[in-house]
Structure 1
Amino acid sequence: MVSAALLATIAVGCLAAAARLRWASWPARGPYIAVITWQVLGLTWGISTIGALLAFGLVPYEKGVIGGLAALASDASAHGLYLSRLAETPLGAVRVAAVIAAFGLTLVLFCGLVASSVHVLRTRRRHHDLLELVSRDDPEVPGARVLDHPAAAAYCLPGVLRSKIVISAGALEVLARSELSAVLAHEHAHLRQRHDLVLLPFSSLKRAFPRVRMVETYYRAVALLIEMCADDQAGRERSPKELATALLRFGTAGNAQVPAGAMAAGDAEPEVVRRVSRLIAPAEELSRPAAAAVLLSAFTLMATTLSLWHLPM
């Protein structure tokens, strides 16, 4: 029961830490560190929640989560136990319910990840094919496809073999040459650093728990941090104020909605305001000692959670 209690405490602690991280000010000064922290918190929450259920359910085996699962598998193999006969094990009905809940949560999370991946891949493939028909190359915008649409839009479609950056004709009309270069640098940063893969686990959580408002809130927080990461990368190649001006022009021109699976330079208005403010008046970056402390704490939490799976009851 000790490991079950500790794992449950960690699961609750992850939710509390995520709530504090959502409103903290330091992530804007270190978005890369903050994204890693979000990933560790999300993964740790899943592992600790599933582990707590298993640890509680497998207490009679007194072998910990890993050892208890092995013992349960051995019982099932030796006695031909099926779902309807699990209550005949040393576990009892309540603990069997906890084990089933753990496997159910694992299945929900896994299926959410697979479903999100398949959906995104199919959507991008269709959009890639469509772009071949309706977009064109332009020597004035090397490395991008131009879409003849009056609304201002700029986005990228990540891919393994074919990635594309798309600029609308409306965006070309409102952006100066320097601003266009800053937007292209932002989109290239998304492609190089595969930000779509970073965001995928959070989009899968949103798909797995579509009615949980907290999940949507955290997804938007991570998406904003990813945009900040691309802003920072673009700011190393171009002037940050050029990108800030481009974002403002997108807003005044009526930013077009981008297709599913794409990553856009401009997003919802509140997020754009925060990004523009950050680009125009950048705060001091997160110090290396502070960044190291955050990362050390995050990975210590993960290592502790994993070690509790091996702790005997």
Structure 2
Amino acid sequence: MHKPTAIQILKNTIQLADADFEGSAMESKAIYRRKLNKLQERISHIQQAYYHQNKRAIIIFEGWDASGKGGVIRRLTEKLDPRGYRVIPISAPKPDEQSRHYLYRFQKELPKAGSMTIFDRSYYGRVLVERVEELISNKEWQRAYYEINEFERLLSDDGVCIIKIFLHITPEEQLQRLYERLHNPYKRWKVTEEDFRNRLRWKDYEKAINDMFKQTTTNIAAWHLIAANRKWYTRIQTLEIICAHLEKDVDIIPKPLDPKVIKAAEQMLSISDIKN
């Protein structure tokens, strides 16, 4: 009989101040491309293993506005089979969702067997934007830490791998990226009035983020903090973390060919040297 996992909130949790911006350089574009190609090939093999073994995973991306979440997700999924994953971008809840429990719209997006769901922002908005912008009461966002931990425990007990990434940039880097987007016609669509309003409450968000780390870094779903001022470094570090976690307790060795497939190939194509 399966015994439910006991949740333990880890005592030595990360804080935003722990981000190592000084050590986040990449040597050259050639080295970056080589590392990226290897990681993308590695995660494509992991995806095949997940499909054959009916494994499931959710990958959560949180971070500051303009911290590079979209760029990381693009590199993460670039060489994956689109049938085996979904990217769910999260914005403000729709009117019909506002009348339901806030976890409802995330529950209905959970991955099916053999696939992954990638959340571009997530239910952690409950203890971030909804808290800071005072969209809910103190009692509601304080209660959400327990609700989220229990939600993730249920997923973990059901065999879902949970990976939580937070991309951290400095206010100076964010300002530079917002400036670039404003002056690039092909990136202007990314900028909203909310991006600038949120900057005015940077300190409030810092406190909410650090509280989130403290309350929801658990033995089943720890947070991973990435210093994201340098995009190449960010992408490599994030993909390395994701690959390492997805590979746990998963046999990555390719599944042998079905003997019926081998027999059919031998008969139909006159192939006699097929090896498993």
Calculate the TM-score normalised by the size of structure 1.
Answer: 0.22
Higher helix share: 1
Higher strand share: 2
Calculate the TM-score normalised by the size of structure 2.
Answer: 0.24
